[in-house]
Amino acid sequence: MREIVLDTETTGFDPFSGDRIVEIGAVELWNHMPTGETYHVYINPQRSMPAGAFGVHGIGPDLLEPPQPPGPGAVTLKDKPLFAKVGQGFLDFVRDSTMVIHNASFDMKFLNAELRRMGLPELPMAQALDTLAIARKKFPGSPATLDALCRRFNINNANRVLHGALLDSEILAEVYLELIGGRQPDFGLATNTSTTSAGAQEDWRPAARPVPLKSLLTEEEQAAHDVFVGKMDEDALWKA
């Protein structure tokens, strides 16, 4: 089962009044486990950046009125692509997978407003899974913000000084796994099938990555490993 944990950053609260998306971040899960595949893009909103929104995410000092010089690590937006250049790529990444979003109605209205401007198919709300609604149902009366859930589940969010779509997606993926029961919520010995978000069963098999992950071994470590394996018997597993 493939799921996409997703977050956006915007210029404000209302796409119907001219607010736009400035960042999209998403991480891929297979059977509730991160695969390492991500999607991340900054977007030129073709409008100014309100000071209130800038105070939340710190993106786009060059779009403030008056513009501010970017500080260390600041992201400017005038040189970033328009949504029209990245919209199809975003749809290609999401496909028909369930989108796990905190306060899904907010992000979905922005995403669909952008897709509508391009004449692209909108994403159905049924494709979104709202972790805010799950948290409120599971912990009624308790704070259900992402920071509050990180405190509840003892998830380290020390790097979350400002909102950022990719970082928030990575944190939300951890929160989501805790909300549904931990890192192996569907673990069982009596079945060899998995259940999709729509309730249908599929016979899932792991597929090879189209592009292998880059090795983290240094050349010295690889050479030392080869020498170590070379000293083993010919029937050793590492020589298979």
Domain boundaries, the chain: 2-202
Strands 98-101 and 2-10 come out as: parallel
Answer yes or no: is 7 a known binding residue: yes
Answer yes or no: is 9 a known binding residue: yes
pTM: predicted TM-score of the whole model, two decimal places: 0.74
* Dihedral sign (CA 60, 63, 65, 66): positive
Q: What is the pLDDT of residue 194?
A: 43
Catalytic residues: 163
Quick one: fold of 2-202?
Nucleotidyltransferase; domain 5 (3.30.420)
**Quick check: helix, strand or coil at residue 87?**
helix
CB atoms within 10 A of CB 26: 27
Q: What is the pLDDT of residue 161?
A: 53
Q: What is the pLDDT of residue 180?
A: 92
Write down the residue that tokens 């990444």 correspond to.
93
pLDDT digits (tens), the chain, 240 positions: 999 999 999 999 999 999 999 999 999 999 999 999 999 999 999 999 999 999 989 999 999 999 998 887 789 999 999 999 999 999 999 999 999 999 999 999 999 999 999 999 999 999 999 999 999 999 999 999 999 999 999 998 876 656 789 999 999 999 999 999 875 555 444 344 444 444 444 445 556 666 766 777 788 888 888 888 788 877 777 776
Answer yes or no: is 57 a known binding residue: yes
Q: What is the pLDDT of residue 189?
A: 40
User: In this structure, are residues 59 and 22 in contact, taking their beta carbons and an 8 Å threshold?
Assistant: yes
